[in-house]
Structure 1
Amino acid sequence: MTDSPDSSLSTGAENAPELRATEIVEHEIDTRSLLAIAEAAVDEAETTFTAAVGADPSVMKSPGDFATEADLSVERQLRSLLTRYTGLPVHGEEYGVVRPGEQVEVNPNDEYADEFDGPRSPSHEPSNPGLNELPETCWVVDPIDGTANYAVGNPLCCILVSLVHKGEAVVAVCEMPLLGSRITARKGHGLFVDGHPARPMPPSDPGLTQIGFGSILSQRRGNLPVSYRQDMLNAIGRTYPRMRVTGSCGIDLAFTAAGVFGGTVTFSPNLWDNCAGILMIRENGGEVTDFAGNRWVPGVSGIVAGEPEVHANLLRHIQSVSIGSAARTAQDVKDRGGIR
């Protein structure tokens, strides 16, 4: 598929920064040291994460979407540690972008409250900036990805931390405390699972390959109708019957990078859900695009990722499914790579 000539149907990918050579990135920033700092911050935040498993919802962000107090605490802690260690701003799911030196309200009951602390109450509509709208170099944090799982003690939840430099992720950490596993990557240096080089992505095998799939019923993904997602699931299932729904975009992408899943289809438009996993998959030789086959950009609901052959098969099935009359036309969805 190619982009529509009508610029109003663009995903925005044509204006996104180009992926740059590893040696250029490493000349500009020390990704090895920054990955070590990210892991050290996650080590400290993991204690906060595990102590509050099963926490009740405390902030209703939108219908069907909530945060627990642990989401807020882990993000405040990560933001404080990452900024203290590096001086770089942090863009998090719950509080948006907080830059060093900004005037913010300090929570006196938070042991990590300091001059870098953010507001006591998060915005109910955290911003989802495009890559060109972020600071040149900043951390991107999802304190608890899979909050609904976390709130009931389901272990499929994780902490996601990535570093974005000039529009692309160059460092990524997916910490799964309740599974006792950590997956990391830095641009040009491959993927690591629990500190060891990851195995190569296994080849496509319809009898064995598992495919992660995003939310099937959640009304929060209302710009991609439930019927469309179900038809997509059925189409993919004809080739890959071993479909899996984890409830966590971060885990779907990390499992795909590590070869647990052969591929995944997710529907979140958010940078914090996807940024770390996109780098991880690319670092282990996988493909990541939007539904049109173009580079994914924040704001587009639709990522397809996986081992190259699996990715191609998934993309073919996705592009064969009509979205129906419940929203926009199928061609519009494909031209946009999903829907904003």
Structure 2
Amino acid sequence: MTDSSEDRFSTGADDAPEIRDVNLVDDEIDTRALLAIAEAAVDEAEATFTAAVGADPAVMKSPGDFATEADLSVERQLRTLLTRYTGMPVHGEEYGVVRPGEQVEINPNDEYADEFDGPQSKPPKGPSNPGLHELPETCWVVDPIDGTANYAVGNPFCCILVSLVHKGEAVVAVCEMPLLGRRITARKGHGLFVDGHPARRMPPSDPAITQIGFGSILSQRRGNLPVSYRQDMLNAIGRTYPRMRVSGSCGIDLAFTAAGVFGGTVTFSPNLWDNCAGILMIRENGGVVTDFAGNRWVPGVSGIVAGEPEVHANLIRHIQSVPISTAARNAQDVKDRGGIR
């Protein structure tokens, strides 16, 4: 485990200042008002979300990954509302960073569109982690439909994710699950709320009943950990925690972990929009979030371990005990990086 820097979410920018004083955050930006604005925007976008459940794929972003027209519509709506209410830019899965007044037009055939970046008009600049150093100091991060494959067939495990990043740190988060009738929210230093009520603390670990969320086991999308390694990891963790669950939504896995539905979760998405909200939520309710090496997670790394402190420690122990095949580049690279970039 690392020192106290692990307790901080970062976009990975080397020059991002650490924010440790909650009062300082509240002095700089009104997180209470901004959370209310995020919830109001989600309230309006929810109708668009629910009206198109079961939508067919509209944009093939890469083999095995797609967006529906609802993904595009919900993101456009959220961007319009959040920018109108706050004047802040929005970084979304489908359109990247859009600043107030900018116009965007999706190009389904964009050669730079892939399952990590979403369709965009130009390749990412600078470091390999897309958009990290291009993020404005304060901006919204949006995943219009997390769990699109579930959404497209009417599986209720899908959600809207909205978070606010300020100086490299998530300070506001909303996970709205319209088909499950549940909303989980957090703001830095002020705890976790489930449907508007303070969340219960994460329950202590009990392997007989503790459920563990687990990311995709079979996805072949590039950048993810090899299937054989994920299967071995699943088997290793299952020896201690046999009640493993694959929901198909990183956002829900993290939010359910924060709320104590899951004791912990292991996810494989490297995306900021998938993970940003859940990281804040888990930490606001006393949980621990790291990469596979036990370091703070940064976007671009395929590997998050999160949960109640004892569960997190057990998950890390199991993950680090699993040998990595040659298909995963090499073991030292994976362990050093906390996952695969």
TM exceeds 0.5?
A: yes
The answer on 1:186 being equivalent to 2:172 is no
C-alpha distance in 2 between matches for 1:291 and 1:160: 23
The one-character-per-residue Cα deviations of 1:157-200 (angstroms, maximum 9, x if unpaired) are 00000000000100000000000000000000000000000001
Cα distance between partner residues in 2 of 1:198 and 1:12: 29
Q: Distance in 1 between matches of 2:154 and 2:300?
A: 30
Amino acid at match of 2:321: S
1:221 & 1:323 partners in 2: Cα distance?
17
Q: Is the 8 A contact 2:60 2:67 kept in 1?
A: yes
CA RMSD, 1 decimal: 1.8
Q: 1:12 to 1:80 in 2, by over 3 A?
A: closer
- Residue pairs, 1:112-261, within 5 angstroms: 118-121=104-107, 124-125=113-114, 126=117, 129=130, 131-220=132-221, 222-261=223-262
User: 1:124-168 CA deviation, whole Å, 9 max, x = no partner?
Assistant: 243663544310000000000000000000000000000000001
- Measured at CA, do residues 17 and 321 of structure 1 come closer, stay the same or move farther in structure 2, by a change above 3 Å? farther
Aligned equivalents of 1:191 and 1:266: distance in 2?
21
CA distance in structure 2 between the aligned counterparts of 1:172 and 1:295, rounded to whole angstroms: 18
Q: Structure 2 vs 1, CA of residues 302 and 50 (structure 1 numbering), >3 Å: closer, same or farther?
A: same
Q: Does 1:46 align with 2:42?
A: no
Q: Is the 8 A contact 2:258 2:285 kept in 1?
A: yes
Q: Equivalent residue for 1:329?
A: 330
Closer/same/farther in 2, CA of residues 202 and 13 from structure 1, 3 Å limit: farther
**1:12: Cα distance to partner?**
5.6
- The amino acid across from 1:319 in the alignment is Q
Distance change (3 Å), C-alpha of 1:289 and 1:61: same
User: Which residue matches 1:94?
Assistant: 94
1:68 maps to: 68
User: Hey, what's the Cα distance between the residues in 2 that align with 1:12 and 1:138?
Assistant: 15
Q: Which residue is 1:5 aligned to?
A: none
Supply the distance in 1 between the matched residues of 2:210 and 2:249 (Cα, whole angstroms).
19
> Hey, what's the Cα distance between the residues in 1 that align with 2:97 and 2:223?
26
In structure 1, distance between residues paired with 2:160 and 2:224: 26
Contact conserved, 2:250 with 2:269, CA < 8 A, in 1? yes
Task: Tell whether the 8 Å contact from 2:224 to 2:269 is kept in structure 1 after alignment.
Answer: no
Secondary structure of the residue that 1:151 maps to in structure 2?
helix
* 2: CA distance, partners of 1:242 / 1:288: 20
| TM-score of the superposed pair, with normalisation by structure 1 | 0.90
Q: Rate the CA distance shift 1:296–1:29 in 2: closer, same or farther, 3 A.
A: same
Shift of 1:332: 1.4
Query: Aligned partners of 1:332 and 1:269: how far apart in 2?
Result: 16
1:12/1:30 CA distance change after superposition, 3 Å:
closer
CA contact (8 A) 2:223 2:302 kept: no
The sequence identity of aligned pairs, in percent, is: 88
Q: Aligned residue for 1:111? A: none
Give the structure 2 partner of residue 77 of structure 1. Answer: 77
Distance change (3 Å), C-alpha of 1:132 and 1:23: farther
* Structure 1 segments unaligned to the other structure (5+ residues): 3-10, 105-117
**Cα distance, 1:89 vs. partner?**
0.1
Query: Alpha-carbon deviations, 1:1-37, whole Å to 9, x = none?
Result: 78xxxxxxxx968765434321111111000000000
Segment of structure 1 superposing worse, 317-326 or 241-250: 317-326
Residue type of the alignment partner of 2:32: R
**Measured at CA, do residues 152 and 297 of structure 1 come closer, stay the same or move farther in structure 2, by a change above 3 Å?**
same
Q: Counterparts of 2:131 and 2:277 in 1: how far apart (Å)? A: 15
Distance 1:334 1:34, change over 3 A: same
Q: Hey, what's the Cα distance between the residues in 2 that align with 1:129 and 1:168?
A: 17
Q: Which residue of 2 aligns with 1:271?
A: 272
CA shift, 1:328, in A, is 1.7
Distance between the aligned counterparts of 1:199 and 1:217, measured in 2?
Answer: 33
Q: 1:8 aligns to what?
A: none
Pair 165,222 (structure 1): closer, same or farther in 2 beyond 3 Å: closer
CA deviation after TM superposition for structure 1 residue 331, in Å: 2.0
One-letter amino acid matched to 1:250: G
Contact 1:140 1:164 survives alignment (8 Å): yes
Q: Determine helix, strand or coil for the equivalent of 1:301.
A: coil
Aligned counterparts of 2:134 and 2:294: Cα–Cα separation in 1: 23
Alignment deviations for residues 105-133 of structure 1 (CA, whole Å, 9 cap, x no partner): xxxxxxxxxxxxx3244652436635443
